[in-house]
Amino acid sequence: MTRLSSSYVFDTAYSGVLKNRTSLVEMYDQISSGQKIRKASDDPVQSARILDLQKSMSNIEMSQRYATTALNDLANEETILTQVNALLLRGRTLTLQSLNGTQGLENLQAIGSELNQILEQVSELANTKNSDGAYIFAGYSADQPAYSFTRDANGEIDSSNYEGDGSTVKKTVSPSLQVSISHPGTEVFGVGSDDIFAQLIATRDDMYAGVYPTNLDKIDDVYSKVTLATADIGARTNQVELAQEVNETLLLNQQTALSDIRDLDLPSAIAEFTQLQVNVEAINNTFAKVVNISLFDYI
Amino acid sequence: MSILNIGLKSLMATQYAITVTSNNIANATVDGYSRQQLVTSSTAGLNFGGNYYGQGVNVDGVTRISSDYLEDTLRNTRSSENYYSTLYDLGVEVDSMFSDQETGLDKSIQSFFTSMGDLANNPTSEATRTVLLETMDSLGAKFENMDYVLTLSGDTVDKELVSYASRLNSLAENLIQMNESVSASVYSTGKVDPTLLDNRNLLLSQMAELTDIQIKEDENYNISVFMGDGLALVANNKLSPIEAKSNGFSDGEFEIYLRGEVISDRITGGKIGGTLEYRNDVLNYSKNSLGQVALGLTQLVNAQHKLGYTPSGVAGSEIFANFSSTSKVHDDNAGTGMFAVSFDHTASFAAQETAVSQLEPRDYEITFNGAGYDVVDANTRESLLTNASSSFTLDGLQFDLTGAPVAGDKFKLSPMTDAISNYEVLINDTADFANAADPAGSISDNRNSLALFGLQNLTVFNDGLDTMQSTYSTLVAGIGSKVSSAESASLTFGVLYDQANLNRESESGVNSEEEAANLIQLQQQYSAAAKIITAAQEVFDDLLAAIN
């Protein structure tokens, strides 16, 4: 039988009281924060994983913000292209009308005025700005209008020049994906003497002069460019939406993983806490009894 | 011999025994006390008529119940427990600071790159540029703040070492006096006062709390004390005091010296050992790793930024100050030499990327050997280069000598920690961000800012294994595992110490019940002895009466 010294009996009993109380406080700390890993030494490997997850999650959240902006940008461009599309369709119809040989000079001039209206509207749409004030068809040089126009003595547009740099601006929509969010003007409205403005100017002037326009095929070329760009936007929108869904799933998975690693299982923690509480009470009750037994009481 | 004499001797012996028992009871709670026992023996018999008759009891002496082995174990476990608990107590503060989301670095780096991403995705927005400037300032403030806390901790370490050293010296002085008292008591009485031995053990135990010690007792009962791997602290009853003082480099950290030599790396136990281990393995490692991130981040961002152009078509300038740092020179240096360390910011991006991948979280100590320069890791003393020229490249950094050193001159370089104080944002105009990839001066050209943003996920650190943030999370995990293993080791040694204490207590400690039982027995013994005297007297009286 081990011989116990009196001071050892006291110390052991006392440190039992202290240890249990410390565990109780630590448990309380975990419950009040809801986290079982409060510092790296609680679980070194998992704490590095927590940091990695937090970083990854905030990158995904960031991408989601950008994806929303990208969708806005794409929707804006689509609206504009739809309008351009409608205007070009109307212009094409008017040009076809003039070609059927039944129009008098006055009618041709009226068609010319209407084509001028269309030209004005398309030129305005070509210089659309987004909510940040950037000219969307200007490429990287977005702080100046995509197109500049000169006007004749009557104040009508008689020439156009593309001022942008023809670049495609890309934005991040997921940690691994960048998507083009607009088209340079050249891809939508054509280039130089083949661009839509030159065609509309020429046709309008033909009408004014009472001659039949000869560039219907060129108008058709631009028309198909716009249609192509619109389809492009549809595809890009799908791409961004898909990225958003992937981001969403990733975020959810990582949130779950983070919570599994870091968060406390509350019901079992409370059960453990209650168990500890019972222990502490039991120890407090027995402490006095253990240390108070002495033969001297009986002498 | 008479019955009276036997009774008297028994009375005396019992009285002594009661004294010893009372002393045990009185000292039951005194730290380090070993219980004592009265040793008695039976007196040799006298021969009467062919028979031997015992002549009562003899008092031989008072023994102290003690075991050197148990005392040794107690000291060793106490030393280890203090080593690990000191390492834990100091380390857990760094651990908490680094892993907390608010006080740690990760969130600030994340904000920096989020702002970079915002700029890349909204190149025309003035607000995102302003926010980016602010996040760069607060990232710098975070580096500075963490460095400040670590520096304070380093100062505390130095102060602790000084106070531990002076405490160890004064305990050793007490030990020498105690040795002398023990010798004197042996010399004058031929016996040792057990209390002196207990007190001397207590002193040794307090010394073991500070460092790991081995003891040796010579034939004159003098105890010699050796530290670490056999460094004599007290030998031949003479003290060689240890000293905690600066390592000789201006503003250098403190080391433990014994007889003029650094012995820090030879102390492996107790509070001193734990404090030194914390300083080298947690504190310096954290500071250097933090600096590694600061240096890599600032220089890589600079390198990428300089590849771009601002909206007005100007080539990108340095966002952060270029890195450079100079050596601390040793107080004993005779020459005028000085080392500077720099990061080659004129090299290509790829070359700078390679240099960043080679950065190591360490301090350097360079010694001029007369012909060349020997470079060691200042913490681990690992040799890095021998006989290098006065200008060399190491760990992605360029080291250059200025001035004229003399053989034996020493230099210390802490490029990583200096990178933290070197952190400075040079750009203060939002128009100076070089977003564009070509000099056309296009506002929406975000290609360079996308590339800057991409640096976040570039695995470049530690030979291309880590991103900036994973370098940091690896550091956090490293500190965490160091601290958690210190915690479990301190718990283990706590249990072992308790066990050693239980063993010592069950051998040497006082059990009140036992003493109470002894007391009862002795009281009865005393009454019995008194009865012998009464009986002797009555027998004598009867004899007298018979004669009369």
Q: Rounded mean pLDDT of B303-317?
A: 92
Helix (H) or strand (E) holding B36: strand B36-42
pLDDT in tens, A253-271: 999 999 999 898 888 889 9
Q: What residue type is B385 in one-letter code?
A: L
* Chain B residues touching residue A18 (CB < 8 angstroms): none
Radius of gyration of chain A (CA): 38
Out of B450, B470, B511, whose CB is closest to A6?
A: B511
Q: Rounded mean pLDDT of A165-176?
A: 84
Q: Where are the beta strands (DSSP E) in A124-163?
A: 147-151, 157-162
- For residue B126, what are its two tokens? 């003035």
pLDDT in tens, B44-60: 888 888 898 888 999 99
CB contact under 8 A, A51 and B505: no
The residue among A3, A4, A5, A180 with the most chain B CBs within 10 A of its CB, best to mutate, is: A5
Helical segments of B125-283, H only? 126-189, 194-210, 270-277
Read off the pTM. 0.84
Nearest residue in chain B measured CA to CA from A45:
B477
CB contact under 8 A, A40 and B99: yes
Rounded Cα gap, residues B422 and B342, in angstroms? 12
Q: What residue type is B517 in one-letter code?
A: A
Rounded Cα gap, residues B132 and B117, in angstroms? 10
A-to-B residue pairs, Cβ atoms closer than 8 angstroms: 184
Q: What residue type is B280 in one-letter code?
A: N
A62 touches chain B (CB under 8 A): yes
The alpha carbon of residue A174 is apart from the nearest alpha carbon of chain B, in Å, by 11
Nearest residue in chain B measured CA to CA from A134:
B124
pLDDT in tens, B438-466: 887 678 888 999 999 999 999 999 999 99
* Chain B residues touching residue A51 (CB < 8 angstroms): 104, 106, 469, 472-473, 476
Higher pLDDT, residue B486 or A285: B486
CB contact under 8 A, A140 and B101: no
Q: In terms of Cα–Cα distance, which of B155, B153, B256 is closest to B479? A: B153
* Chain A residues touching residue B442 (CB < 8 angstroms): 139-143, 165, 167
Could you tell me whether strands B57-64 and B51-53 are parallel, antiparallel, or unpaired per DSSP bridges?
unpaired
Tell whether the model's pLDDT for residue B487 goes beyond 60.
yes
Could you please report the per-residue DSSP string of B478-517?
HHHHHHHHHHHHHHHHHHHHHHHHHHHHHHHS--HHHHHH
498-527 of B, contacting A, C-beta below 8 A: 498, 501-502, 505-514, 516-517, 519-520
CB contact under 8 A, B444 and A142: yes
Higher pLDDT, residue A215 or B367: B367
Out of B28, B96, B453, whose CB is closest to A7?
A: B28
CB contact under 8 A, B311 and A143: yes
Out of A143, A171, A178, whose CB is closest to B124?
A: A143
CB contact under 8 A, B98 and A172: no
CB contact under 8 A, B516 and A2: no
Q: Are A212 and A99 in contact (CB under 8 A)?
A: yes
Q: Quick one: pLDDT at residue B441?
A: 67
Q: What percent of chain B shows pLDDT beyond 70?
A: 100
Q: Quick one: pLDDT at residue B2?
A: 76
* Chain A residues touching residue B440 (CB < 8 angstroms): 140-141, 165
Q: Rounded mean pLDDT of B521-529?
A: 93
Out of A5, A54, A294, whose CB is closest to B509?
A: A5
The residue among B495, B498, B505 with the most chain A CBs within 10 A of its CB, best to mutate, is: B505
- Calculate the alpha carbon distances from B186 to B36, B71, B179, B197, B255 in Å: 18, 22, 11, 12, 40
The alpha carbon of residue B110 is apart from the nearest alpha carbon of chain A, in Å, by 7
Tell whether the model's pLDDT for residue A2 goes beyond 80.
no
CB contact under 8 A, A7 and B99: no
Rounded Cα gap, residues B162 and B182, in angstroms? 30
CB contact under 8 A, B506 and A8: yes
Tell whether the model's pLDDT for residue B241 goes beyond 90.
yes
| Mean pLDDT, chain B, integer | 92
B280 touches chain A (CB under 8 A): no
A13 touches chain B (CB under 8 A): no
172-231 of B, contacting A, C-beta below 8 A: none
What's the number of CA atoms in the CB half-sphere (13 Å) around residue B63? 9
Supply the ipTM of this predicted assembly: 0.77
Q: In terms of Cα–Cα distance, which of B424, B427, B438, B428 is closest to B307? A: B438
Could you please report the per-residue DSSP string of B43-83?
PPPEEETTEEE---EEEEEEEE---HHHHHHHHHHHHHHHH
Tell whether the model's pLDDT for residue B391 goes beyond 80.
yes
pLDDT in tens, B107-123: 999 999 999 999 888 88
Q: Quick one: pLDDT at residue A219?
A: 85
Q: Are B436 and B310 in contact (CB under 8 A)?
A: yes
CB contact under 8 A, A165 and B479: no
Helix (H) or strand (E) holding B364: strand B364-368
* Chain A residues touching residue B470 (CB < 8 angstroms): 52
Nearest residue in chain A measured CA to CA from B491:
A19
The alpha carbon of residue B364 is apart from the nearest alpha carbon of chain A, in Å, by 28
The alpha carbon of residue A163 is apart from the nearest alpha carbon of chain B, in Å, by 11
CB contact under 8 A, A51 and B456: no
Angle B269-B274-B279 from CA coordinates, rounded to 5°: 140
The answer for residues whose C-beta is within 8 angstroms of residue A47's C-beta and 6 or more apart is A37, A39, A40, B99, B473, B476, B477, B480
The residue among A2, A7, A10 with the most chain B CBs within 10 A of its CB, best to mutate, is: A7
Q: Quick one: pLDDT at residue A178?
A: 87
Q: Quick one: pLDDT at residue B210?
A: 96
CB contact under 8 A, A39 and B101: no
| Mean pLDDT, chain A, integer | 88
CB contact under 8 A, A69 and B514: no
pLDDT in tens, B397-435: 999 999 999 999 999 999 999 999 999 999 988 889 998
Q: Rounded mean pLDDT of B471-487?
A: 93
Nearest residue in chain B measured CA to CA from A171:
B121
pLDDT in tens, B89-113: 999 999 999 988 888 999 999 999 9
pLDDT in tens, A5-53: 888 888 888 888 888 888 888 888 889 888 888 888 888 888 889 989 9
A49, β-bridge pairs = none
CB contact under 8 A, B28 and A6: yes
A54 touches chain B (CB under 8 A): yes
- Calculate the alpha carbon distances from B369 to A80, A106, B336, B378, B410 in Å: 76, 103, 15, 17, 9
CB contact under 8 A, A294 and B444: no
* Chain A residues touching residue B520 (CB < 8 angstroms): 299
CB contact under 8 A, B477 and A45: yes
The pLDDT-based confidence of A192 (bands split at 50, 70, 90) is confident
CA B381 to chain centre: 18
Residue position matching structure tokens 């128009």: B431
A168 touches chain B (CB under 8 A): no
Nearest residue in chain B measured CA to CA from A136:
B444
Residue position matching structure tokens 């976040």: B456
CB contact under 8 A, B511 and A3: yes
